[in-house]
């Protein structure tokens, strides 16, 4: 089946993972702000914000690029060795304060 026969929804080369995850992030040299990662894949992501002007401040419009810095603080909950010599680890986010943001 060629690309012309595929629907728009099926043209994605990488599966998107739906997150709807509120985060605090820094875009470019801008300030930290509240964003929401709507979904993410190996080749891109969708981000939601209620203040596009703040997002544009950290965006390099000349090169159509932005650098996202997301700080995540977590506690190591468990670790196990894998058969290939690597380690798989589980991390727990601190939610004691009731805060919904990560970072």
Q: Print the domain residue range for 17.
A: 3-71
In a domain, 82, yes or no: no
In a domain, 30, yes or no: yes
In a domain, 88, yes or no: no
Supply the pTM of this predicted model: 0.65
In a domain, 87, yes or no: no
At residue 3, the pLDDT reads 46
At residue 5, the pLDDT reads 41
CA separation for the pair 37, 35 (Å, rounded): 7
In a domain, 11, yes or no: yes
Number of domains the chain contains:
1
In a domain, 100, yes or no: no
Per-residue pLDDT of the chain (103 residues), as tens digits, is: 444 444 445 566 789 999 988 888 988 887 788 899 999 999 999 999 998 887 887 888 889 888 989 888 888 999 999 999 999 999 998 765 555 555 4
List strand residue ranges (DSSP E) for 14-86, in order: 17-27, 32-41, 44-48, 59-60, 65-66, 68-70, 74-81
In a domain, 62, yes or no: yes
């Amino acid at each position: 089946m060629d690309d012309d026969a595929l629907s728009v929804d099926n043209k994605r080369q990488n599966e998107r993972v739906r997150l709807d995850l509120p985060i605090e992030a820094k875009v470019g040299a801008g300030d930290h702000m509240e964003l929401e990662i709507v979904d993410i894949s190996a080749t891109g992501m969708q981000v939601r914000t209620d203040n596009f002007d703040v997002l544009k401040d950290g965006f390099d419009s000349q090169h159509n690029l932005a650098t996202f810095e997301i700080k995540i603080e977590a506690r190591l909950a468990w670790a196990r060795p894998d058969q290939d010599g690597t380690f798989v680890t589980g991390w727990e986010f601190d939610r004691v304060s009731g805060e919904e943001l990560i970072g």
